[in-house]
Amino acid sequence: MAITAQFPLANRQIERGLVNPLDKTTVISVFPREIKDSKPTLFPGNWTIPPGSLEKPSVTVIGPSSWFRDLDDKAPIIEIPVSSIQIAESIIRDYCGSLVESTLNDAMPGIFFLPGELNINEVKLTHKAKLDYAYKMQRSWFDKLVRVADALYARSNGNPIAISDDMRLAAKELGIENRDWVGNYKAIAMVKCIACGYLRDPSFPVCPHCHAIIDMAKAKELKLEFLK
């Protein structure tokens, strides 16, 4: 059955050719966060990969898409099919390739694809090795994120803005609860230094940028502590 699509810019109606019902690819995720992908030049061009885990991976079946080449008003619009495997690979590469410290096939979110239409039982029974490898790569990525977060937190004098949500997620998934930066951003509201305007943590009496003493009472307490 042909699919009709309206393209306002061309002001013409076109029909998508018959879709191969066997062209299916399954995207599997053990990444505990939803992934959304949009490719405006493709039809269909929107996909959502639900969050998953090693115990219960998410399974999303993807079909083929098409893009259309319009040469001029007199020539017919040409449909260029894109296979489901190309779509799945593009979704994973575009998302993972944009993340800090993510290196494809080494340290990245636990997402991969398999040809064909598979359900969760088939994936867990026949592709356990791939699930385990994806989880291993994800743990490696989480380890790298935690190390980067430690460095950023120290260099920024405890500024919570320096820590991304992915870094906090990594610490949570690794069971690391002893980092000061693991808490939510709302725990600290940065204020401007009255001397230089630099954003600072109000719980510290001295500005880390200009070293002005903002809270004299707290500063005296710190001095007494150092003298002990």
Write down the pTM of the prediction.
0.74
The three-state secondary structure class of 6 is: strand
The packing angle between helices 128-155 and 165-173, to 10°, is 120
State the maximum Cα–Cα separation within the chain, in Å, rounded to a whole number.
88
* Range list of H helices, 65-119: 84-96
Structure tokens at 166: 């992915």
Q: pLDDT digit string (tens) for 87-137?
A: 999 999 999 999 999 998 899 999 999 999 999 999 999 999 999 999 999
**Omega of the bond leading into 32 within 30 degrees of 0 (cis):** no
φ, ψ for residue 155, nearest 5 deg: -70, -30
Please enumerate in sequence order all residues whose Cβ is within 8 A of that of 190, keeping only pairs 6 or more positions apart, or say none.
Answer: 159, 160, 161, 199, 200, 201, 202
State the DSSP H helix or E strand holding residue 29, giving kind and residue range, or none if neither: strand 25-29
Q: What percent of the chain has a predicted confidence (pLDDT) above 90?
A: 55
Q: pLDDT digit string (tens) for 147-170?
A: 999 999 988 878 888 899 999 999
CA angle 94, 181, 192 (to 5 degrees): 100
